[in-house]
Structure 1
Amino acid sequence: MNKPVAHPPLLFLKFFRWYCDPKMLDYIEGDLMEAYHARLKKYGKRKADAKFIVDVLLLFRPGIIRSKAKYNTLKRSHMINSYFKTGWRNLLRSKLHSGLNIVGLTFGIVCFLLIGLYVFDELTFDQQHVNAERIYRVIEHKNVRGEATTIAAAGYKLAEESKHSIPEVENITRIMRTGRANLVDPENPVPFQETVTIADDHFLEIFDFPLVEGDRRTALKEPASIIIDEDLALRIFNRTDVMGKNLQFSHLPFPLKITGILKNHPRNSSFNFNCVMSESSYYAADYFKETMASDWASNSFSVYALLRPDSRPDSVSKKMTRLVLTNFKPDEGTKLSYSLQPLKELHLKSAGIFDGARNTNVEGIPQGNPLYVTIFSFTALFVLLIAAINYTNLTTARASGRVKEIGVRKAIGAMRSNLIGQFLFESWLTTGIAFILAIGVVKLVLPPFNHFANKELSLFSVDYHFWIYAMTAIVVIGFLSGSYSALLLSRLKPVSLLKGLKLQTTGDLSVRTGLVIFQFTISIVMIIGTLVLLLQVRYLNHTDLGFNKDLMVVIDVNTRKARSNFETIKDQMSKIASVKSVSVTSRVPGEWKTLRTVKVSVEGSTDAPGTSYLFGADKEFMQTFEVTLLQGRNFREAYDSSSIIINETAARMLNITGVSEQMVEIPAASRDGYFETLEVPFKPRVIGIVKDFHFQSLRDKIQPLILAYNNNPIHVIDYYSVRIAPVDIPGTLNKLKAIMVANDADDPFEYHFLDDQLALFYVEDARRQTLLGWAALATIFIACLGLFGLATYSTEQRVKEIGIRKVLGATVVGLVSLLSRDFLKLVLIANGIAFPIAWWATNRWLQEYAYHIDVEWWVFAAAGTLALGIALMTISYQAIKTAVANPVNSLRSE
């Protein structure tokens, strides 16, 4: 089958053929097409299309434009000049009306641009690589006797053999990640705890991580070589020009030579390494030689494949599955297959995928959520749409003031198309002014917005696609804003217009009424959404977790020396007067790192083993974390190494209702969902049951948990947890540091407060709640601007009626009620529409959390009352001003 020929953007090609002088058309078009196809091969279609568009626009100049096009252009320029003058005069003639429109549109565009930048950043994660469209992550799907796991990891041989055996694979790279260990400058031996990424020499061929210094073709080729980023270079050496210097890595007996300096990662990258060591550094190690010879199905490597153009990922993944199963036989009852995940989907579509080799979404990169991207996309559009509705409402309300102008224009021969053009141009002029002001406002607020959102958003260095989308939206909004009033005024006959017809038709009023209701419906939905999100975030941060997280210092244990000497260290820490209790554990409640899971069953049971989390703990664990023991006893001394304590959920899973030292069997353990059989099954006895506590995020239901004694065979200790008194906290931390340094000077003192770490689980929720809150305030503000303008116009139209009513004895309160009643009815109707929409949307969103608030009636009442109150205050100013005015002034002209 012949490959389809790629074409440049047809719209711009037709535009070029329209304006180009026929004498030069063939010659210039030939050059354009030749340049386009050369760029197509070099850069790909997207960049070739963009450069073609630029070329077509730059060629639109005297000498190339055909004479007719020149004439039409000149004619249009005169018309546009006329539109501009008329539009500018109308803006200046009604300053209040114009100001309300411009302020409303500016607010709407500011929100649209800020939220748009945020959403665009989320959608363009990992697309800074030239071949991002062709890069895929290998995903392993394993089903062991009905229990399925999805892991972003694969074996060494799959990566090595795929590039030789599968024609569609152009290149492939392996990445793995070490545990945290020391990186030290031998000339200044201050240890820095780092997690080192290890990659083969194809890594920099596939990914375009920019090097400030070094040759990307050779930087990772030789053994004992490492590339580091600018940030790590500054931390270790206090400078970045460190090419050729050595680093000592505590996992290796030989120094590593720095062969490249990486530019710091952009924030919208799923990768967060700060150093990469050459895989060849391990080729001489016996265990790695075995890996190179026989590892077909481990989960030690993240594997990324660059496919050839027009390759089908599903076909390649099937070939990978066949390749592995031809050379490796899974255990009985195990099904194994592979798929390919596009690189551009890593950030938003990795829910439920274990990152087996732990190379993405680590150390501070929050996983994206496509639901929030959708919510914020619609929020940005709705805010802009509400601003456009304001313009439409105010323009149609003020239309009566321009009927004679339109009548004169029609009487002297203006066509309907000219009048429509005039009104649309005025709309675009107003929108253009608002757009320029909005860019200035965004420029001012972007630095604090970036700090708040943890982004590196830039208005002027963003991808050009963002501006195409933004400008398209602005043009469309300008068109929608002005189209209704343009069609309304241009359709009337000159005679009616010159008679001074008032444009208060039923259709006109019903459209304005519907638009006001729509505005406030969206605003009320957003207010309710913000309140619910605020309450959920508050619930997440203040709910009882089943343990005490306050004043808990968690100290990382990173070296063997600090682990083996833990009893001495604990004893020394306990002697500090401000220390209440000390515990050592392999993980802590509210853990943010990977938890070990095990298969477990009661010894002798015929039921299939269940799955439970496990972490090691000592006898001070329950006292330190204030966990409640429901049955049985606590750990005592070393002879409890074959004892376990379980939580209520694990007890239900194992059908244990009372503690009687039941023997259980743990035959397999896992770190990332892939279970490996233990050489010797662990057979402990159950000595206690603790009350369930939240050892993970509140997004997850409490799962079965086993607390094994600290010297268990599955997971060694990783933390000292120290409960301290709320006195002289800096002094206490200095004493704890002195103890750690005295016992292991090579291990940096790394600590955090547990409550601060737990708050990081929900920091994205807090950010989203704040962002949605500001958007909700913007929508209600813009809606109120429109309401104020409509109320102003309405009272101006009824000023004589108000004067007559006052003369006849009407009170100020009665008049304010009369003027406000119609508008408040619209807000009440909006409440009635918004409530069910908000109830459905918020309940659906809350399903993301295993533990969440219930949306109660008062949230809707509060949001509705708030909307009514704000609307009443907006209307009342103008209503009171008119009601207290002297009726003589309004009736004098009569």
Structure 2
Amino acid sequence: MIKNYLKTAWRNLFSNKLYTLLNIAGLTFGITCFLLIGLYVFDELTFDQQHSKAKQIYRVVQHINTKGEASIIGSASHTLAEQSRSSIAEIENTTKIRFIGRDNLVNPQNPVNNQETIAMADERFLQVFDFPLLYGNKDAALKEPNSIVVDEELAKKLFNSTDVLGNTLVFNFLQEPLKITGVLKKLPANSSLRFNLLLSDATIKNEGPVDWLRNDYNVFTVLEEDTDASLVGTKLTKLVLDKIQPELGTSFSFSLQPLSDLHLKSSEIRDGARNSNVDPMPRGSLLYIKIFSFIAFFVLLIGGINYMNLTTARASNRLKEIGVRKVAGAMQGHLIRQFLIESLMLTFISFALAVIVLNLALPAFNTFTSKELSLGFSTDFKIWLYALAFTALTGILAGTYPAFLLARFKPVSLMKGLNLHSNKDVSLRKVLVVFQFTISTVMIFATIILYQQVQFLNQTNLGFDKDLLVVIDVNSGKARSNFEMVKNEMMKIPSVKSVSVSSRVPGEWKTFMNVKIKPRGSSDDHRIAFFVGADKDFTKTFGVHLLDGRTFDTVNDSASVILNETAAKMLGITRADEQLVEIPSAASGGLSYQAISDSNLPFEAKVIGIVKDFHFQSLRDKIEPLVLAYNQNPVQPIDYFTAKISSSDVKGSLSKLKEVMLNNDQQDPFEYNFLDDQIAKFYIEDHRRQTMIIWAALSSVFIACLGLFGLATFSAMQRVKEIGIRKVLGADVLGLAALLSKDFLKLVLIAICIGFPLAWWGANKWLQEYAYHIDVEWWMFAAAGFLAILTALLTTSFQAIKAALSSPVRNLRS
């Protein structure tokens, strides 16, 4: 019987080539989009799940409230990490890692300079996390001082081999050579922790006073099974409160964040252990995961709806076949199974084609998204199970209604050729068409909104000039201490217009310093501001507008500061009249102000200028208070040269700047970025998501149009005699095309009316992610509606015009 079902289904598919092609094309596109987005979403949702104790691993998160200003920091202190392991029974193990900047790493046997991000981890790190070692012992690799573990790619880069155990490496900032005690397999792409080397934490001793509130380590705990994480967080808070009392007006607490939440649920958490130009914890967006999941589901659903609509619309062509089967003894169940098998066969043919298309598209998609997705024999079996299950479900759901519709009629009625379609059946098809175009309209609108927001991010005036600014890393003490001489040499280059040195730059990709500040003698509490050290040419080089006062002048300004508008307003300063302000403490990457101890802190500074607000961070963040201090300040030394160059000879300018730097910094490589390119990296994920949504929108519209084309074709066939009579009576082609198209356009208009409120709600919710964003305007709705109507009109008018141009004599005769 099954063999007969399959043979009949195969014959039926080939006997109706146009509708079979439309169904297969729609389902193939739908399944391809579903699989592609599904692989992306699956990868995002399974971040950090490769560790055997993933469900027991938590990150320690510090909550600090300083005089009403709250902060959540995803890092804690060395002391807390060590003491909690022995003090809290529910903690099975702890480990810690921190990122302390970048330095020149050299293989003494082949001394080629390589700037690498330095990650330091304790001896338990490779016991807690299952990052596999190709060579070495995970229990001992990070135990001894001056030990280093490298990944296979770095090993090949330095030694042209992965078997490098026992070899030595040298970091400039360390006096002792480092022994390679382990070689890591390349880290999986879906790991929140990103590094290519691990320096043993014992290499640099944690000297100085015990500080429970430092936040320079990512601290991870392994809890006993079935332990209440909130209870352990409370115990951590109590452990610290038993040792210290917070400053007046400051409160703190600790909580535990599951490892599985690091990637998607850390948008509000600042990482105090981060101090490099490579983000050690790239973050995803739970909102986009939800959006993409809905898109994948609905695109697949649109393909299934096409099948349902076309099958029910063409049901009358199979009346006699069904009647003969029933007369011959076929039961209703037999017919239902027959039509479901047809549906499943079509769906799995589409699935096979979709897998082929997907594998052709994946290399480009992986390059675009910086992922390593695949769908083959080595793919996680769960992905295949999900894919096959959803495909089968699509086939069953798409075929169920047509199957029950066709199998329910009595054989006598069928053999007489009575009309199969009831008003209920027609209404259902209309509802499904409306549903398809509602989704398509929302997708078109989302594409317009996303495109406009990304354009806004790229074109908004940031309050400074970002073009043709070359930002050069200062990697050595010599270049830092002789910066005036280096600046003078750079200024001798004809194409260099201006040069500035600073500790950070606008659009910074490293961690900013924070300071406490208040007017001297004020009874108000200290407020918190960002801090940047800069020289006298900072405002000129970056084009920052001075509103009041003056910029830095000489070394006598070492105790002077310039405020941005927001900082001036926060401190109640309207004019820069050399008012004195107190800066008692500073912190890097968080708000634990015990983090920096310096003999020059606290210090007093005079306010000599106020600059117009500029965006020194991403447009996702509102402009915060900013203090610009002279480069010779006690908080943070210079870290960059920034050269403003002309556009006439960019390559020549870079070559000459490199020559100047190498003359003053022979050991370190010349590292530079164009500031506008670096700022664009803030929004690279927005560009990726924009492109993905555009393609998903195009796919959904294309699939919906395939269905509409099929229905329009069938409608024209059903009304062929009516068209012939109307033409004989004098109807013109335009009138007939309008007659055949208007019913479908009505459905599209209804879909637009339903889709617009949904689109407006979704767009406003999404734009809340940005502190600065576009407004939803009327023309966006008009454009989306026009595109939806135009698409539907072009789809239906082809068949309508074709039918209207046909010979009325032939139509009436046949």
Q: Shared topology, TM-score over 0.5?
A: yes
Query: Aligned partners of 2:548 and 2:686: how far apart in 1?
Result: 37
- Equivalent of residue 35 in structure 2, options 96, 106, 113: 113
Look up the match of 1:236. 158
- Equivalent of residue 329 in structure 2, options 394, 400, 413: 413
> C-alpha offsets along residues 311-365 of structure 1, whole Å, 9 cap, x if unaligned?
2212222222223333333334433322111111100001121212128994376
Deviation at 1:273, TM superposition (A): 0.9
Determine whether 1:608 maps to 2:525. Answer: yes
Deviation at 1:582, TM superposition (A): 0.2
SS in 1 for 2:461: coil
TM-score normalised by the chain length of structure 2: 0.97
> C-alpha offsets along residues 58-102 of structure 1, whole Å, 9 cap, x if unaligned?
xxxxxxxxxxxxxxxxxxxxx321211111111011111111000
Q: How does 1:604-753 map to 2 (within 5 A)?
A: 604-676=521-593, 680-753=601-674
Cα pair 2:277 2:509 within 8 Å, conserved: no
SS in 2 for 1:191: strand
Look up the match of 1:160. 82
Look up the match of 2:110. 188
Query: Aligned partners of 2:7 and 2:653: how far apart in 1?
Result: 73
Look up the match of 2:187. 265
Structure 1 residues 300 and 319: CA distance shift in structure 2, 3 A = same
Deviation at 1:289, TM superposition (A): 4.6
Look up the match of 2:682. 761
- Equivalent residue letter for 1:175: I
- Equivalent of residue 311 in structure 1, options 217, 220, 227: 227
Q: How does 1:63-462 map to 2 (within 5 A)?
A: 79-282=1-204, 285=205, 288-290=206-208, 294-358=210-274, 362-363=278-279, 366-460=282-376, 461-462=378-379
- Equivalent residue letter for 1:482: G
Determine whether 1:470 maps to 2:387. Answer: yes
SS in 1 for 2:434: helix
> C-alpha offsets along residues 817-869 of structure 1, whole Å, 9 cap, x if unaligned?
11111111111111111111111111111111111111211111111111111
SS in 2 for 1:300: coil
SS in 1 for 2:116: strand
Cα pair 1:272 1:360 within 8 Å, conserved: no
Determine whether 1:561 maps to 2:561. Answer: no
SS in 1 for 2:49: coil
Look up the match of 1:831. 752
Query: Aligned partners of 2:276 and 2:762: how far apart in 1?
Result: 31
Determine whether 1:852 maps to 2:773. Answer: yes
Cα pair 2:100 2:276 within 8 Å, conserved: no
Query: Aligned partners of 1:659 and 1:255: how far apart in 2?
Result: 51
**Aligned residues between the structures:** 809
Query: Aligned partners of 1:393 and 1:695: how far apart in 2?
Result: 54
Look up the match of 1:840. 761
- Equivalent residue letter for 2:77: G
Q: How does 1:48-59 map to 2 (within 5 A)?
A: none
Deviation at 1:216, TM superposition (A): 1.5
Look up the match of 2:461. 544
Deviation at 1:737, TM superposition (A): 0.9
- Report sequence identity in percent: 59
Query: Aligned partners of 1:340 and 1:825: how far apart in 2?
Result: 55
SS in 1 for 2:615: coil
Uncovered stretches (5+) of structure 1, i.e. residues with no partner: 1-78
Q: How does 1:441-520 map to 2 (within 5 A)?
A: 441-460=357-376, 461-520=378-437
Look up the match of 1:863. 784
Deviation at 1:167, TM superposition (A): 2.7
Cα pair 2:274 2:511 within 8 Å, conserved: no
Query: Aligned partners of 2:125 and 2:95: how far apart in 1?
Result: 5
Q: How does 1:12-51 map to 2 (within 5 A)?
A: none
* Greater Cα offset, 485-494 or 160-169: 160-169
- Equivalent residue letter for 2:486: I
> C-alpha offsets along residues 579-622 of structure 1, whole Å, 9 cap, x if unaligned?
00000011111111111111111122222222211101111111
- Equivalent of residue 447 in structure 2, options 524, 530, 540: 530
> C-alpha offsets along residues 387-406 of structure 1, whole Å, 9 cap, x if unaligned?
01100000000000111111
SS in 2 for 1:271: coil
Query: Aligned partners of 2:530 and 2:305: how far apart in 1?
Result: 54
Determine whether 1:784 maps to 2:700. Answer: no
Deviation at 1:213, TM superposition (A): 1.5
- Equivalent residue letter for 2:228: R
Query: Aligned partners of 2:214 and 2:576: how far apart in 1?
Result: 38
SS in 2 for 1:663: strand
SS in 2 for 1:646: strand
Query: Aligned partners of 1:142 and 1:405: how far apart in 2?
Result: 75
Uncovered stretches (5+) of structure 2, i.e. residues with no partner: none
TM-score normalised by the chain length of structure 1: 0.89
Higher relative contact order (CA 8 A, sep 6+): 2
Cα pair 1:271 1:359 within 8 Å, conserved: no
Look up the match of 2:502. 585
Cα pair 1:271 1:360 within 8 Å, conserved: no
Cα pair 2:214 2:592 within 8 Å, conserved: no
Query: Aligned partners of 2:216 and 2:766: how far apart in 1?
Result: 36
Deviation at 1:685, TM superposition (A): 1.0
Look up the match of 1:50. none
Structure 1 residues 303 and 733: CA distance shift in structure 2, 3 A = same
* Greater Cα offset, 609-618 or 351-360: 351-360
* Greater Cα offset, 771-780 or 201-210: 201-210
Determine whether 1:807 maps to 2:723. Answer: no
> C-alpha offsets along residues 758-787 of structure 1, whole Å, 9 cap, x if unaligned?
000111001100000000000000000000
- Equivalent residue letter for 1:668: S
Deviation at 1:103, TM superposition (A): 0.5
Query: Aligned partners of 1:332 and 1:435: how far apart in 2?
Result: 65
- Equivalent of residue 873 in structure 1, options 776, 789, 794: 794
SS in 1 for 2:192: coil
Query: Aligned partners of 1:300 and 1:604: how far apart in 2?
Result: 32
Deviation at 1:186, TM superposition (A): 1.2
Query: Aligned partners of 2:340 and 2:516: how far apart in 1?
Result: 69
